[in-house]
Amino acid sequence: MRALVAAGLLCACGSDGYGSSPGSSGTQISWPFTLGEAPECLSRPVPREEGVAVCRILVELADDTACPEASGWSDPLSGSEPKPRLRSTESGRRRTCEIRQLEGLALEACRTSEDCAECEPGWCVTDLPTLLANCPDSEPFPFRFTGGSSEVLPGDAMITCLRFAEQ
């Protein structure tokens, strides 16, 4: 087991990158990864409600560069307002950005359309079998990044989802 702190979330992660920590309404499950180097398979399914993932994707940048809003990135919400999240390290200040989950027509296109014509920059949990790896003993990595949202800036990402008791 290894501990990873990213974007203010603690993950006690096993060798497969899966981890969990107590949440207020259930248990948070987290998958750390590097943008552009996502795993093909996960050890747990991604929780969803009516097609929407109950997750956030936060990226910690190597410096305090502003979050590129045109690429679907923003400062994470603090309450109901986006607020910069900066952290000082030995190598300098680091900024955390959130990649937005698509909504409405863009979400539906991302989930169901290979060409994703309605997609804007952001992400979804896709249902397209052609985009999912064959993972016979585990779950495929279903996160799909659109509009160049995963190619903007390098950074360490943490996907954090809420796992409900019945899952």
Please tell me the predicted confidence (pLDDT) of residue 37.
Answer: 76
Nearest to 63 by CA among 35, 36, 98, 96: 96
Q: What is the pTM of this model?
A: 0.77
Please tell me the predicted confidence (pLDDT) of residue 26.
Answer: 53
pLDDT of the chain, 167 residues: tens digit per residue: 222 223 222 233 333 343 444 444 456 788 887 777 777 888 888 888 887 899 999 988 888 889 999 999 999 988 889 999 999 988 888 899 999 999 999 999 999 999 998 899 999 999 898 888 888 888 888 999 998 888 777 778 888 887 643 43
Please tell me the predicted confidence (pLDDT) of residue 48.
Answer: 87
Q: Tell me the domain boundaries of the chain.
A: 2-163
Q: What are phi and psi of 119, to 5 degrees?
A: -75, 145
